[in-house]
């Protein structure tokens, strides 16, 4: 029988082992997560160069554009939930550290495979096939990273600091995104267009593979966070979390629904939304996106610290109710002014911090230690794929249907649904975490 979460006991106080060094644990999770997201997002920033070499417009084989479409959708909407399920199960069966080393090696290997992908001119259809396989592997890795890193971070936190440690999940994710953008910008500025098409885009993925080895080395020196009792217990089955904790699985979906659409809208899609709907300058919108992401990263530890003092629910409700009420007026207030978009994006980042800074802690506090990683991994990744990954598509669809004003309402309604879930969510900040 699982020990009650409010009962005293050695499995619920402090780090999982007396030798655990929280600073090293935080570094292992954060550096590795940043590398994961650099590798994942570099493809997005380099897509135009990759497409020209691997999916040329002049290709005669009709399977080429089909494979291109398959690569985008299969990775974003299929492999991440599978990664959350499989690698989350590894984290519960073999340990958090084992899962984290698997995810980063998988990401490094797939990045190297991307760098070595043959062009369509050199190898024909083999080039697109290799590219698709590499992106599928990256999707598998990213899907497992959140589940494993979430449990590792929160279980490594000293008592009363779970919110702070949780915040580094999105600090490192944002840092990885900024590095990917920065490396791409430096390559484009430093070499000519011909060199970018020949080898420049490949260099970014070689760098990612090297950084993955660095992250692997750092993670190898970290400590396992499962207690000795959990390590000695029978290993859970692949679907045990879904089978034995269906309510908690649905709760993860409700917690994530509004947050993921708000996150992808504000951190990824907003520059495009401004370009499409008000004719905003492309260069300025991307600059604003970079500034706001840096601002967003700085906010995360503040949100985590605040949640350790006042609890998780006040921040979650501030985020969800704030977006439900303000999303429509904020998006409708965007003009062609640089200041207007900057203020809208930063205002959204402040509200969004109410969720992102504590997402890892909130999710980890839902499940018992035995199935914590797998319990989080699948429902979280599936919800992100369904609502977060489709945010740009839905925004474009509403525009194509002649109803662009409907998209802000769509985001607001999903955030309102999550607000109702947060109202019923038990407060976890003041309870020890089962180890």
Residue pLDDT, tens place only, 265-312:
998 888 888 888 888 887 888 889 889 999 999 999 999 999 999 999
d(CA 432, CA 5): 6
Please tell me the predicted confidence (pLDDT) of residue 349. 96
DSSP one-letter string for 179-241: HHHHHHHHHHHHS-HHHIIIIIHHHHHHHHHHHHHHHHHHHHTS---S-HHHHHSPPPPTTHH
Structure-block tokens of residue 351: 């509200």
pTM for the complete prediction? 0.85
Residue pLDDT, tens place only, 312-327:
999 999 999 999 999 9
Please tell me the predicted confidence (pLDDT) of residue 57. 66
Structure-block tokens of residue 279: 């004719």
The residues, ordered by sequence, that sit 6+ positions from 278 with a Cβ below 8 Å of its Cβ are 334, 335, 336
Continuous segment of H or E residues that includes residue 327:
helix 312-332
d(CA 134, CA 263): 26
Please tell me the predicted confidence (pLDDT) of residue 7. 37
Residue among 305, 294, 401 nearest 349 (CA): 294
DSSP one-letter string for 73-88: HHIIIIIHHHHHHHHH
| Number of Cβ within a 10 Å radius of residue 52 | 15
Residue with tokens 């994006």: 345
d(CA 55, CA 57): 7
Continuous segment of H or E residues that includes residue 115:
helix 96-115
The residues, ordered by sequence, that sit 6+ positions from 421 with a Cβ below 8 Å of its Cβ are 251, 254, 255, 257
**Residue ranges of the chain with per-residue pLDDT less than 50:** 1-18, 69
If you ran DSSP here, which 8-state letter would residue 124 be given? T
Longest dimension (CA), the chain: 68
Please tell me the predicted confidence (pLDDT) of residue 15. 46
Residue with tokens 């706001």: 292
Structure-block tokens of residue 86: 């499989």
Crossing angle (nearest 10°) for helices 126-156 and 22-45: 150
Instruction: Report CA Rg, the chain.
Output: 21
| Number of Cβ within a 10 Å radius of residue 417 | 14
SS3 letters across 12-60: CCCCCCCCCCHHHHHHHHHHHHHHHHHHHHHHHHCHHHHHHHHCCCCCC
For 206, how many CA atoms within 13 A lie in the half-sphere containing its CB? 7
Instruction: Report the phi/psi class of residue 220: left, alpha or beta, with left for phi > 0 and alpha for psi in -120 to 50.
Output: alpha
Residue with tokens 């429509």: 328
Q: Which residues of 129-143 are buried (b: 16+ CB within 10 A; e: fewer)?
A: bbbbebbbbbbbbbb
Domains of the chain with CATH codes? 11-226 (1.20.1250.20), 246-366+390-425 (1.20.1250)
CA distances from 31 to 15, 146, 155, 169, 175 (A): 20, 13, 17, 10, 9
Structure-block tokens of residue 422: 């947060």
The residues, ordered by sequence, that sit 6+ positions from 209 with a Cβ below 8 Å of its Cβ are 39, 108, 109, 111, 112, 115
Please tell me the predicted confidence (pLDDT) of residue 68. 64
CA distances from 96 to 152, 167, 395 (A): 6, 18, 37
Cβ atoms 260, 310 nearer than 8 A: no
Please tell me the predicted confidence (pLDDT) of residue 62. 55
d(CA 187, CA 92): 40
């Amino acid at each position: 029988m699982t020990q009650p979460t409010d009962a005293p006991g050695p499995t619920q106080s402090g780090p999982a082992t007396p030798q655990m060094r929280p600073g090293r644990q935080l570094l292992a999770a954060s550096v590795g997560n940043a590398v994961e997201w650099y590798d994942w997002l570099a493809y997005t920033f380099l897509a135009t160069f990759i497409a020209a070499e691997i999916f040329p417009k002049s290709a005669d084989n009709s399977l080429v554009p089909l494979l291109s479409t398959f690569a985008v959708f299969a990775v974003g909407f299929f492999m991440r939930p599978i990664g959350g399920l499989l690698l989350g199960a590894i984290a519960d069966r073999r340990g958090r550290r084992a899962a984290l080393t698997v995810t980063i090696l998988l990401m490094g290997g797939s990045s190297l495979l991307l760098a070595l992908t043959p062009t369509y001119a050199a190898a024909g259809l083999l080039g697109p096939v290799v590219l698709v396989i590499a992106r599928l592997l990256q999707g598998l890795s990213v899907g497992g990273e959140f589940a494993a890193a979430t449990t590792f971070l929160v279980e490594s936190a000293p008592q009363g600091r779970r919110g702070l440690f949780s915040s580094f999940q999105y600090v490192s994710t944002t840092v990885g995104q900024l590095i990917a953008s920065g490396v791409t910008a430096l390559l484009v500025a430093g070499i000519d267009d011909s060199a970018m098409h020949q080898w420049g885009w490949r260099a970014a993925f070689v760098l990612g593979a090297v950084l993955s080895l660095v992250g692997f080395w750092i993670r190898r020196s970290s400590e396992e966070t499962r207690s000795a009792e959990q390590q000695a217990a029978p290993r859970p089955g692949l679907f045990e979390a879904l089978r034995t904790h269906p309510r908690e699985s649905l709760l993860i979906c409700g917690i994530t629904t509004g947050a993921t659409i708000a996150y992808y809208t504000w951190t990824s899609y907003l520059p495009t939304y401004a370009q499409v709907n008000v004719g905003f300058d492309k260069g300025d919108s991307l600059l604003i996106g970079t500034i706001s992401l840096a601002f967003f990263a700085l906010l995360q530890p503040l949100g985590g610290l605040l949640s350790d003092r006042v609890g998780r629910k006040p921040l979650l409700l501030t985020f969800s109710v704030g977006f439900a009420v303000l999303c429509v007026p904020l998006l409708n207030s965007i003009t062609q002014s640089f200041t207007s978009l900057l203020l809208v994006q930063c205002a959204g980042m402040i509200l969004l911090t109410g969720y992102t800074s504590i997402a890892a802690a909130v999710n980890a506090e839902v499940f018992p230690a035995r199935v914590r990683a797998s319990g989080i991994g699948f429902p979280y990744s599936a919800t992100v794929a369904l609502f977060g990954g489709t945010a740009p598509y839905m925004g474009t669809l509403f525009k194509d249907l002649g109803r662009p004003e409907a998209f802000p309402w769509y985001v607001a309604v999903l955030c309102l649904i999550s607000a109702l879930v947060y109202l019923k969510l038990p407060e976890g900040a003041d309870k020890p975490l089962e180890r």
